[in-house]
Amino acid sequence: MKAEDIRAFEDFIFWQLTALSARYGLPFQIHTGDARIEGSNPMLLVDLIHANPQTKFILFHGGYPWISETEAIAMRYSHVWVDSCWLPTINYSMAKRAYHEWLDVIPSNRIFWGADRNHAEGIYGATEFTRRCLAEVLAEKADRGDLHEDYALRIGKQILRENAFALFPQLTTKLWKDKSKLTPP
């Protein structure tokens, strides 16, 4: 098979999956940035995002290192969410900058954090980094008077928990702590 045929097939499948995602109400998660620098700039997704306004897109890793580009996309398209998974562990300083910028222009209900890890230790570590990073940013914004403290606390809860439940409502039925007896699936 020729390289251009493979690329055409991959593009066809990608667009079909995007349409199916909208059809079934499932968010479409895309790894951007860090996974593979070449070809992973979130700006390359703008035509796809623009052509599929019914699809809920989630851009992983905040598009690192293109956090401002990711911000511009999420600001322009209300059906795009930014997932900061891994960002504080990849580059803590840039994660702080990203949260500061994103909270200035993206509604706080479209920013969240997901683990994107395959083992408990990694999830725990990434969670701690993210909590600390986000807490520092929200405290800085509150100290400057940009946010009232109560609002900063609400935004923290949104980003770390509530936004994921809003985007993935089926998660609420999967929480074991609300069940009287823990049973395997």
Residue 35 pLDDT greater than 60, yes or no: no
Decide which of 62 and 171 is more confident: 62
pLDDT at 123: 87
Decide which of 39 and 3 is more confident: 3
Residue 48 pLDDT greater than 70, yes or no: yes
At residue 184 the predicted structure's pLDDT band, cuts being 50, 70 and 90, is low
Residue whose pair of structure tokens reads 């398209």 in the numeric block: 77
Decide which of 177 and 38 is more confident: 38
pLDDT at 176: 59
